Amino acid sequence: MATVAAPIDATSTAAWKALEAHQEKLEADGIDLKAWFAADADRVNKLSFDAGDLHFDLSKNLVTDETVKLLCDLAREVKLEERRNAMFSGEHINTTEDRAVLHTALRRPVTEKGQLIVDGQDVVADVHEVLDRMYAFAERVRSGEWKGVTGKKIEHLVSIGIGGSDLGPVMAYEALRPYADAGIDCRYISNIDPNDQAEKLKGLDPETTLVIIVSKTFTTLETLTNAREVKTWMLEQLKAQGAIDGSDEKNAEAIKKHFVAVSTNLEKVAEFGIDPNNAFGFWNWVGGRYSVDSAVGTSLAVVFGPARFEEFLHGFHEIDEYFANTPFEKNVVVLLGMLNVWYRNFFKVASHAVLPYDQYLHRFPAYLQQLTMESNGKSVRWDGTPVTSETGEIFWGEPGTNGQHAFYQLIHQGTRMVPADFIAFANPTWALGDGDADMHELFLSNFFAQTKALAFGKTSEEVRAEGTPEAIVSARVFTGNRPTTSIMAPSLTPSVLGQLIALYEHITFVEGTVWGLDSYDQWGVELGKQLAKQITPAISQDDDALAAQDASTQSLIKFYRANREF
């Protein structure tokens, strides 16, 4: 285990105790956003921030000036600044794996070569060597110089990965679809469920399809299983179409022209049949859920082009620099992370909603689920000792306005507080009208209305004034004081998407620091994978393996055996 100073127990700090007393007083006095706004004409101004192209309004959160001060005090007492600096400089803060945490290096500009030497490596130079190769490859595919085995231009990508090798690229691909300008689309296969692969391959012409296999070790069970099956599909379809004769020589040629890899295991890549020159690596100092801006995003560079990918990276870097250099009281990234701690630990809130008012961000909440919950869903601190407080919010969400017709009922009137981030853009990608009405303005009227309703609610007097029968007045009351953060930007661009991702990466880091967590390992995913390997023989008629299982697992496998049709 890496030698890093033990985490500070946040619950033992003076700031934590002061926050407990402060929260109790707020509750006793009565939390009342409507009154707080009325009493402080400068509240919105004090709690509005700009970082990069992002604009933030934190004024509808359950905080006062004193809350913000105490949260910043807590950040200092747990030495957030020191840990932030340690991360940026390449110290091995991932203690259980003895690794640096350098996803921020993935977007440092080429002009910073030689400025970050970690474990004897010029990290920025290494990053740009891979980026240059990735961009050259992307241009070859986009221009048509790279051709399939029959000489046809590539029109379809199939990217095979799982976890961080899939969720990030899928989310970014969906978010930036309007920027696809080379006549190339991408389909992503992740699930080992055969249905995923079957649906994604439907309608594809193998002669114009290029497959990207994303696996750092080239040993990931789900990814390699899917990759082998896609290789079989590719060769069988090419033979059926008369593109190859099925000989070993032609099969090998087809694999080299229709498969590339994102991996550092060049030996395994070559064994699969891929030319190692067409493998793009990344490093053990970047975890999968932090890797979309590495070679893991090769599909994005091909579909959108290197220039757009560079804009994407610039957006990340802009927020990195802001986070690294802005004083805590003015640092909205720090404040958002500390607000999450405020709700999780002092209000005992378990979940956090992310509600993008842009359909192109429909996969953003799913991406954040891995980023946040795999990072901070832990009960042991980075020195191996038990945590001393609640950790890990449950992140979830859906695009507006769909969510309004699904779960907003609970957010508005349920018994659980659900802090929510609302995300919207001033300019739509497609400007449409419904008669004289601007559809985007109709859409954003919901964005503005929801945060207003959640903050200020509706009193029984207001309900009665509308002529509501007394018997149902209580059902139509909205208590308000439901916290939200509003995040806006001019448009959803590659740069803005990078800014949003970096924002939540660093929010996750802030929370993890307060809780004393190593936010960059993920041992919780291992046990299930180990047991799956043990259970597989029991499923396929090995009675001895079945007998070794617990009674519940045996019963479920017996049901499977009795009902499986071959």
User: Hey, which residues does 396 pair with through a beta bridge?
Assistant: 353
Residue position matching structure tokens 């296999």: 213
- Concerning whether 412 is annotated as a catalytic residue, the answer is no
- Structure token digits, residue 196: 């995923």
Give CA–CA dist 388/353, Å, rounded: 25
- Concerning whether 529 is annotated as a catalytic residue, the answer is yes
Q: Are 387 and 518 in contact (CB under 8 A)?
A: no
Strands 117-118 and 121-122: antiparallel
Active-site residue, from 97, 155, 374, 393:
374
Give CA–CA dist 160/223, Å, rounded: 6
φ, ψ of residue 468 in degrees (nearest 5):
-70, 130
DSSP 182: S
Closest CA to 424 of 388, 462, 450, 390: 450
Active-site residue, from 46, 452, 529, 558:
529
Helix (H) or strand (E) holding 421: strand 420-425
Give CA–CA dist 190/235, Å, rounded: 21
- Concerning whether 405 is annotated as a catalytic residue, the answer is yes
Question: Which pairs count as long-range contacts for 230-239, CB under 8 Å and 24+ apart, including other chains?
Answer: 230/158, 230/160, 230/189, 230/197, 230/201, 231/255, 231/259, 231/272, 231/273, 233/201, 233/206, 234/206, 234/209, 234/258, 234/259, 237/206, 238/149, 238/206, 238/207
For the chain, how far is it from start to end, CA to CA, in angstroms?
48
Give CA–CA dist 124/517, Å, rounded: 27
Active-site residue, from 405, 441, 452, 558:
405
The residues annotated as belonging to the active site are: 374, 405, 529
